Structure 1
Amino acid sequence: MENVLVTPQTETKPEVIIDDLFSMIPGIENATQVQVVMSNDLSAKKFNKDWVAPNKPCLIKGAVKHWPAIQHFKSEEYWLKACDDFKITIYPHMNHASWDRHKFNSEEVTFHKAIKRLFNNEDPILSMPAEKITDDNRFSKLINEMPGFTFHNSSIKPRLYEQKRFFLYRRASTAWHHHITDETLMCQVSGAKKVALLSPDIPNAREIVEFFRNDSYLDGKVLDSSIDLKPVIAYVEEGDALYIPPYWLHAVMPDDDVVGFTYAHCWKTPIHKFGNFSNYYVGQFYKGGLQPFRKISFVMPFLAVFSGLSYGFKKMIGRI
């Protein structure tokens, strides 16, 4: 199989790469922009038919601009009053794909201290990533600030990911990664972000995924400049939501240096998306379910039959 990794003659400095997660992608200068739809033109039926079912990302303008959170989450006082002063882990760097790298220099502080550091701009980078929100946890008061979507039924539960997660940060990027079992709406409540995405149909998918999973760019490795990845870029402004389908590799970078708040809303992906067996990501999904063998492994053959039939039928009638 073609080797798409190249070790450069001169050492690549991680500090430079961390500042720009997009420049490592061959052809990024020719990236196209993600398709844009207006939230007031989007019904639940149209969202599912045009975007979710065919697994196509889209930027939904104004998707969450009606949320009270848009105003409230910009206030330091709101956070100090709405949340108790519990212990929380913060990170003085971007959100890495590798846990060994990500946990480096992490710090346990009180939540109120973290909020004050964020709003006082005391750190070059500060990140509180992937904090979950439930009806009975320490962030439950945030739920009423984010009352759902006009184009999606918020009650649909995810399979694997938390339904409600948030990222509170200043100048913190998120490394290249992808989702498997669930759909995601990345909702920008405060601040702006830019997101680069790579289609599930990229060539040499296994090598590309491993390159990002291992944070290989931090070890001085680069991708072969001749590989055609056809990247797509989205500029997500405050009040927008980016629909990120399963299997799409993506990296996220702040487009400003304000205190940012991103809400990730997840729900279970339609069953037919597990039925395209020629796709690398689908193959990895089944491999992960079968090895090592455990209780869920008994379900995988039945899921494969059902999802394969669903995928074939939708393909035949032109729904995907």
Structure 2
Amino acid sequence: MTAKHRTTGFKGYSVQFSPFSDQLLAAATSANFGLVGNGRLSILNALPGTEGLAPRQQYDTQDGLFDLSWNEAHENQIATASGDGSIKLWDITLNGLPVARWHEHKREVMGIEWNYIAKSTFLSSSWDGSVKLWNPAIPQSLRTFNEHTGCVYASTWSPSQSDQFATCGEDKTIKLWSVNEPNGKSLATFGGHNDQVLSLDWNKYIPEQLVTSSVDRTIKIWDIRNPRGQVAMFGPFEFSVRRVKFSPFSPNFIATAGYDMSASVWDVRNGAVVYVHDLHKEFVFGIDWSLFHPGLMATCSWDEQVHLFQVPVVK
């Protein structure tokens, strides 16, 4: 059974389960496809059994929201990425205004992610081509990384190395970085896609492994020790995959959300689709796995809905 919550008037861009609670998730949404108008951060209770999703709190912003990330060191805080180039930090126990705000990016902030290990830092990635490192206690960014030649769609931290992260973008590349590299240059560049790279994620069980998705309608898996070529490729598909996420419970499964209006779970060992969620009626932009319940997933879509559903346990 699928539980649904309607974000009336707001297109879904990103959804994420809380790393602290098995009954909380958040969605970042935008009015008018994020081109003009407000954004909204929705906090939802994922109720047990078949009761579904219930709104708990919401925060409206003057510009669209494209991504969010829970503060790994503070269970009630969420950072959001905005179309006006700003980043805001919210406390879900408070009403009204954000508790902190930063505005250094010159264009839309497309991605934001908290460090899983060094929990005092997070990354933002932007249409201005830069990636910035932040500490929520400091009013300015700590460092800026500037090698991509177009929009940076996403940045993601290594699950095993607190200083390493990877980025992907409009310039068709994936880059590996260390925040400790003194000259601010990337450690490696992977260039195997034929079009913009939209999303990437690390395998939590194989720390050298990354998965990416691209406008070239393929999914690729990489070993960061070998920048010269991918380990595996799936596709080409009929439509692009907008977001990819490795399972937090197994090294063998990834979830995808895409322009075919569905979310799918793949077995990376043979490239087979083992589950398809096809109840959305527009592009699916956001997808996440619960960290507490194996196979529990959430999606958000341009059809103005957040879905919560259970995938049969895959091992």
TM band (smaller chain): under 0.3
**Greater helix proportion:** 1
TM-score, normalised by the number of residues in structure 1: 0.21
State the structure with more CA Rg.
1
Q: TM-score, normalised by structure 2?
A: 0.21
Higher relative contact order by CA 8 Å / sep ≥ 6: 1 or 2? 1
